[in-house]
Amino acid sequence: MKNEKYKPSILLSIFRRKGGEGKMTKIISDDNKSDFLHQQTFLQKDEQPLLCFKQNESTWLLITTGRIIEERNGATLLIPYSDLVKVDIALYEEYKDGIMNTMDFTRLILIDIHGRNHIIKLEKGEPYKGIFQILHYVILNINRP
């Protein structure tokens, strides 16, 4: 399947309109790119980093023009947008941990074309809402054969 790429201006516009930056989630710019430089090693040719949620050096999530890349304590998850079929709130995981207020949600469940579920962790509040809306847009606009 071809690797979908999306215009940075469209994805960032959705993020700003439907959510926004937080303490640990930032839009990547020339000014802060060096803070996220080690994640650059995962980038493919013509792929642009857009947003990064960084808890620490071993726990971060990168949204690019073509993929979601997550590093969580040594385990790396790379999901091309072309592999996504569904994004939803990870309600079971949130409720299981006693989180009932939607403004405190931090997890999304992603379902890929192989039927696998992936749970990604984000910063609660505006960053969570913005990234959820980006991924929802991506899934609605994927060109499937």
Q: What is the pTM of this model?
A: 0.91
Identify the three-state secondary structure at position 105: coil
User: For 82-125, what is each residue's pLDDT tens digit?
Assistant: 999 999 999 999 999 999 999 999 999 999 999 999 999 999 99
- Encoded amino acid at 31, one letter: D
* Helix%, strand%, coil% for the chain, nearest 5: 35, 30, 35
pLDDT in tens, 37-76: 565 567 888 888 999 999 988 899 999 999 999 999 889 9
**Residue 19: is its pLDDT beyond 90?**
yes
Structure tokens at 74: 């040594």
Tokens describing residue 106: 């931090």
Strand partners, 110: 87, 118
Check the CA dihedral 113-39-44-130 and report its sign: positive
